[in-house]
Structure 1
């Protein structure tokens, strides 16, 4: 917990606390007091933490929190958007591939490990193509 609280304080102090406080709609002194892990009288709220992350882009608090629970924080890379019709065709193709994989797996009346891995691979392809479509819609 100590690392997380220190990371919150560092994010506030290293990102122009006065400007940050104004963006968050809180008093500068109040933000400094709340971010100070040595001040037992004041604590950051979830809303404050969200504001710090949003307005600074400083992910140290989130990284420290993830580390506390044994996780790594990894930024997602947005896929490259495509023309909307093209991305829709990609989604349709991936759904068709999944349909074929499921039908082939069910032909002999049982689904073996190979069939499961093939189906799961096709599902991941659908997720990827939906992510491309999501980005495509954002720029359309």
Structure 2
């Protein structure tokens, strides 16, 4: 999905569409509809408007589309403070499960001897989910880490 299509989908998928989203971000609903329309050549979303839309809706498809179009992958970096052993165990088992889903997606993509663009996108989604699971495991582990002696004021 490209950035323009992501902006359109974000605005139109929001409950009530531009009619309810526009006032929440300080743009008239009609202007927002025009700005989100990929076929409109006179109205365009600014970067700050796109950020406000994402922050209000919690929908980051525009950010993901921008990153993907530029050859980047985004990973959400939730951090767990004071994680417990079960948090780490849960994160590690989720990581292993995701790794299996990546393998299954790769297998499905090549099983018929041809690889379609939709199959590549499916593998990309699973790889991104795997990276997110790995980051969650690392965050849980960080949450359990004791400070180094120098961080505790010891020598």
Question: Aligned ranges for residues 97-116 of structure 1 at < 5 Å?
Answer: none
Say if 2:11 is the partner of 1:8.
no
1:23-51 Cα distance to aligned partner (Å, 9 max, x none): 10110000010111110011100121011
How far is 1:66 from its partner?
0.4
| TM score, norm. by length of structure 2 | 0.52
How far is 1:77 from its partner?
1.7
**What's the counterpart of residue 37 of structure 2?**
36
How many residues matched? 91
**What's the counterpart of residue 135 of structure 1?**
none
RMSD (Å), alpha carbons: 2.6
Larger radius of gyration: 1
Q: Structure 1 67/91 Cα, relative in aligned 2: closer, same or farther at 3 Å?
A: same
**What's the counterpart of residue 93 of structure 1?**
149
| TM score, norm. by length of structure 1 | 0.57
SS of residue matched to 2:2: helix
SS of residue matched to 1:32: helix
How far is 1:80 from its partner?
2.2
CA distance in 1, matches of 2:74, 2:48: 20
How far is 1:81 from its partner?
4.6
**What's the counterpart of residue 56 of structure 1?**
57
Q: Structure 1 71/94 Cα, relative in aligned 2: closer, same or farther at 3 Å?
A: farther
Q: Structure 1 35/94 Cα, relative in aligned 2: closer, same or farther at 3 Å?
A: farther
Note the residue ranges of structure 2 that are not aligned, 5 or more in a row. Answer: 84-142
Structure with the bigger percentage of helix = 1
